[in-house]
Structure formats: structure tokens, C-alpha cells
A and B are shown apart, each in its own frame.
Chain A
Amino acid sequence: MDQQKDASTFGMWLFLVTEIMFFGGLFCAYLVYRSTYYQAFVEGSQTMNIWLGATNTAVLICSSLSMALGVRCAQIGKTKMMVVLLLITIVFGFAFLGIKGVEYHEHWVNHQFPGPTFQFEGAEAAGVNPQNIQIYFSLYWAMTGLHALHMVIGIGLVTWIVIAGWRGAYSPDYYSPVENVGLYWHFVDLVWIYLFPLLYLISKKHGG
């Protein structure tokens, strides 16, 4: 059994390796375009709500905490506590998505979705090509959208663990699904830890 637990966790780590490279392609695109169109990126990021972004960062870190504590509970057999902690994790997850949804709505009504509807006032005033700002937004929507998709999947996985845990499927001898879902959840948190400074904290041109 030990070998199997070992194997399944190693398998999850390998899967996370693929996820790192998957998001990595987007980070590469980001790096290239930010170095080429720095001013446009500055302009684009002014429209990001730093407070909402920071709150979301805190939300995710707290959810990682509750997740990690939940895995610990599984490890020592405190199933009821584990279920509670995982439910808290799910609540945090929904909170994150909710705040993100508010932000997306804001951007959408301000015509900041790339494509034919894209508009950005003040581009010429700042001496920046609006199309380059559109690239910033393309990366914003793609990277946060892909992240949000992974959040949704993560919430689904945690829900599955909650249901199975409530039915008593886990014990100190067998809790690797809990641990592996935990690994996935922490990874999604990790991606956001990098997305936040890269997308939101580019520069504060207009002051406080």
C-alpha cells in the first residue's frame, strides 16, 4: 500500500510538472510582450483593481491553509474536522471566483475584452498603441481565465473529496486522494501568487 501511495503522489507531482509547463507557455508570451511593449502594459494594468486582486490573493492563501490543515486532519484520522476544513476551502474558492467575476464584469462593460469590441481611451494621450494594450488584455483574460478554469476544476475535486470523506472513505492508512487534491489546490494558488504581481502590480503611474 505504501508503494501505491507513493506512486500516486509522485504521479500527481508529475502532473503538476505538466501544468507548470502549460502555464509556462503563457508566462513566456507575457515575458516577451511585456519587454517589448512595457508602456502599453503599464497603461493596461492601471485598470486593474489592486484591492480586489490583493484580497483574492489573501483568500487563496487562506484556502491553501485550510486545505493543508484538512490534509493534516486526514493524516491523523480526524475525519469530521477534515470535512469542515475542506468545506471552508470550497467557500474560499467560491469567494475567489466571485471577486474575479466582479472584476471580469467591470472589464467587460469597459470594453476591455479583446476583439472587435475592444476600446481603450487615453491610449493616444499616453503615447501608446492601443493594439499593444489589447495584447496585455489578451494575456490578462487568457491567464486569469485559464486559472479560473483550474479553480473550478479544483472546487469540483475538493467537493468529491468532501463527499467521499463524509462517507468515511479516508483514514490514516489511506488518504492519498486527499493529499493529491491538496497538491493540485496548492498549485492553483501558486499560479495566482505569480499572476497577481505580474498583472496587477506593474507600475503605479497615477499615484496611490
Chain B
Amino acid sequence: MVFTGVTVFASFIELGDWNIVLALTIATIKATLVVLFFMHLYYSSKLTKVTMIAAIFFLFLLLALSMTDYLTRGWLTNPGH
């Protein structure tokens, strides 16, 4: 419980740092702790764990496959442009 308090302060510290990866990593650590221990996923059945993983996986699909469009739009231009 104290640890979660610490991680909140850790996100204060990164004020001088504008690395989104670090911010999201800290967020993910916090989130994992909440899910595993506050929500008892650590102690839950395999089915529940698989369900959560599936949700995250499909969200990831939505984000990743959409980005295949946005990240590659500039790659191929029409001839003459």
C-alpha cells in the first residue's frame, strides 16, 4: 500500500522529464499492482486472468492495427507529387 504512495510521488519527480515511455511505464506498474492485488486477480481463477489478458490484447489490436494506417500514410506518395 505504501508502495503505491511512493509511485505517485515518483510521477511527481518526472516533472522535469518529458519521456512518455517512463510515464506510461510507471502508470502500467501502478495499474498492474491495482489489478493484481486490489482487484485480487492474483488470487482469481485462470478464467478471470485469461479474460483480463484477452481484453488488453484486443485493445492492443485496436490501437496497433489502426496505427498501421496512420504511421504508414506518408510512405508512398503518388507519382508526380
A binds B: yes
Contact A186 B14 (CB under 8 A): no
Q: Could you name 7 residue pairs across A and B whose Cβ atoms are closer than 8 Å?
A: A13-B51, A24-B62, A31-B66, A35-B70, A61-B4, A186-B35, A186-B38
The number of chain A residues with a CB under 8 A from chain B is 43
Q: Which residues of B contact A14 (CB under 8 A)?
A: 51
B5: Cβ under 8 A from any A Cβ: yes
A27 with B5, Cβ < 8 A, contacts A186-B39, A189-B34, A204-B18 known: no
Q: Does A201 lie within 8 Å of B34, measured CB to CB?
A: no
Cβ-defined contact, A183 with B39, below 8 A: yes
A123 at the interface (CB under 8 A from B): no
Q: For residue B26, give the distance in angstroms from its CB to the closest CB of chain A.
A: 7
Partner of B38, one of A17, A64, A202: A64
The proximity string for B residues 1-31 relative to A, scoring 1 for CB distances below 8 Å and 0 otherwise, is 1001100100110111010100110110011
Q: Does B76 contact A (CB under 8 A)?
A: no
A190 contacts B31, C-beta separation under 8 Å: yes
Chain B: number of interface residues, binned into ranges = 35 or more
Pairwise interchain contact A194-B31, C-beta atoms closer than 8 A? yes
Seed contacts A61-B30, A67-B38, A202-B20; 16 additional CB < 8 Å A-B pairs: A6-B45, A9-B48, A13-B52, A17-B55, A21-B59, A27-B63, A35-B67, A35-B71, A68-B37, A183-B39, A193-B30, A201-B20, A201-B23, A202-B18, A203-B18, A204-B15
Partner among A27, A57, A58, A64 whose Cβ is within 8 Å of the Cβ of B59 = A27
Assuming A61-B8, A186-B34, is B15 touching A208 (CB within 8 A)? yes
- Complex CA–CA separation, A24 to B31 (angstroms): 15
Measured between beta carbons, the chain B residues less than 8 angstroms from A196 are 11, 27
Q: Are A204 and B27 in contact, with the CB atoms below 8 A?
A: no
The one of A9, A61, A67, A194 in contact with B5, judged by C-beta atoms closer than 8 angstroms, is: A61
How would you classify the secondary structure of chain A's contact residues: helix, strand, loop or mixed? helix
Quick one: which of A54, A58, A68, A208 contacts B16, CB cutoff 8 A? A208
For residue A32, which residues in chain B have a CB less than 8 angstroms away from its CB? 66-67, 70
Which among A10, A61, A203 has the highest number of chain B CB atoms within 10 Å?
A61
Please state if B54 and A28 are interface contacts (CB–CB under 8 Å).
no
Return the chain A residue nearest B49 by Cβ: A13
Tell whether A152 is near chain B: CB-to-CB under 8 Å: no
B30 & A201 in contact (Cβ 8 Å cutoff): no
B8 / chain A contacts, CB cutoff of 8 Å: 54, 57-58, 61
Q: How far is the CA of A65 from the CA of B36 in the complex (A)?
A: 13
> A42 to nearest B CB, angstroms?
9
A110 at the interface (CB under 8 A from B): no
Residues on the A chain within 8 Å of B56, using CB? 20
